[in-house]
Amino acid sequence: MTIRHETAPMPAAPLRLAEVAARAGVSESTVSRVLRNIGPIAEATRVAVLKAAEELGYVPNRLAGALASTGSALVGVVVPSLDNIVFAEVLRGVTERLEEAGLQAVIGVTGYDLAREERIVSALLAWRPRGIVMAGIDHTPRLRDLLAANGTAVVEMMDIDGAEPALDRRVGLSHGAAGAAMAAHLVARGHRRFGYVGHDISRDIRARKRLDGFAAELARRGAVLVAEEMVAGPSSVAAGRAGLAALLAAHRDLDAVYFSNDDMAVGGYFHCEANGIRMPGDLAIAGFNGLDIGQELPRRLTTVRSPRYRIGQLAAEQILTRQEAAEDMAKPATIDVGFELIAGETA
């Protein structure tokens, strides 16, 4: 015997296409065609079917639909983290664009762990998604093989630096160039002795690329990266604050400090503010991302803006247009969305 909660009205009526067809007095195929808007349908039939479906509260079973037609309306989206507003914004761009096209995002979070990324993508592939959107261009060899053998549309987001060939399409920016641009800017402002405060850079590959670009450009311009302070764990305001404190304790003679991103830089900003260190007079600070919070500080943070929402949208678009473009070599496989240096008031 089954006891049902009073508020649950019906035994979860397994409503099928057949029920709608019966009620509308037509065949299943006709209902299917009406619901998907394909083929020629008499207006009277269309109306009757729509009415029947509406009255019954019919919700088509997309699992069956996808199975029958090969190709689901699902898109896998893999991001490294959701602690940070950055990927949430990318995700928003992706989901919004997908929604317009009637597709849905299945998400996975890797925690910046490539092995986990491999597992997650593999699991995502089981839904035969229309495509996979993932952050970063660095993957395990096994994942590369899997995706290649699979033939699924793949978009790698955020990053475009790297020797590895693109899996399929790329939408992002050069983090090396972004780091270099900031180095150039800071040197032009007269700073010479630099420090760096970062978070766990072995995992955040793009932060490392920025640092590498930054350091290389400093060297080229005759400035020097005196010290690097790496804080364990993910980036955060607290880590940035603690990191700067530690860095300055060991090195009193720095002109400027580059942070792995804006969260960290805002932490540095607060450290300065709390300790009477004037920016940029006593110390210049700079970040990366162009987060709103940095631009609302009493002194606007000097940083590089990455078009995150746009990247998300473009990535989704790549999946959407992939069919037409499959053999169209005119479409570039890599889209560089660029970045914008924000010359704030902290450097």
Buried b / exposed e over 64-82, threshold 16 CB at 10 Å, is ebbeeeeebebbbbbbbbe
Q: How far apart are the first and last CA of the chain?
A: 73
3-state secondary structure (DSSP) of residue 185: helix
320 binds, among DNA, a second copy, none (CB under 5 to 8 A by kind): none
Q: Does position 140 bind a second copy by CB under 8 A? A: no
Interacting positions 219-278 with a second copy (CB under 8 A): 236-238, 241, 266-267, 270, 273-274
The separation between CA 236 and the C-alpha centre of its own chain, rounded to angstroms, equals 18
The sign of the torsion formed by the CA atoms of 273, 275, 280, 286 equals negative
| Residue whose CB is less far from a second copy, 104 or 192 | 104
Minimum distance of DNA from residue 302's CB (angstroms) = 53
Taking each helix axis from N to C end, the angle separating 28-36 and 43-56, rounded to the nearest 10 degrees, works out to 90
Q: What is the CB-side half-sphere exposure of residue 40 using CA atoms within 13 A? A: 0
The sign of the torsion formed by the CA atoms of 63, 314, 122, 151 equals positive
- Work out which of 40, 57, 281, 332 binds a second copy, going by CB under 8 A: 57
Minimum distance of DNA from residue 247's CB (angstroms) = 54
36 binds, among DNA, a second copy, none (CB under 5 to 8 A by kind): DNA
Q: Does position 104 bind a second copy by CB under 8 A? A: yes
| Residue whose CB is less far from a second copy, 47 or 333 | 333
DSSP for 106-162, written as a single string: EEEE-TT-HHHHHHHHHHHHTT--SEEEEE-S---HHHHHHHHHHT-EEEEEEE---
Which helix (H) or strand (E) covers residue 172, if one does?
A: strand 169-173
Minimum distance of a second copy from residue 78's CB (angstroms) = 11
Q: Does position 145 bind a second copy by CB under 8 A? A: yes
| Residue whose CB is less far from DNA, 17 or 347 | 17
- Work out which of 60, 162, 234, 338 binds a second copy, going by CB under 8 A: 60
| Residue whose CB is less far from a second copy, 194 or 259 | 259
Q: Does position 324 bind a second copy by CB under 8 A? A: no
- Site mask for a second copy (CB under 8 A), range 6-35, x = bound: -xxxxxxx----------------------
Interacting positions 169-228 with a second copy (CB under 8 A): none
| List of residues contacting DNA (CB under 7 A) | 14-18, 25-30, 32-33, 35-36, 38-42, 44-45, 60-61, 64-65, 67-70
68: tokens are 């029958």
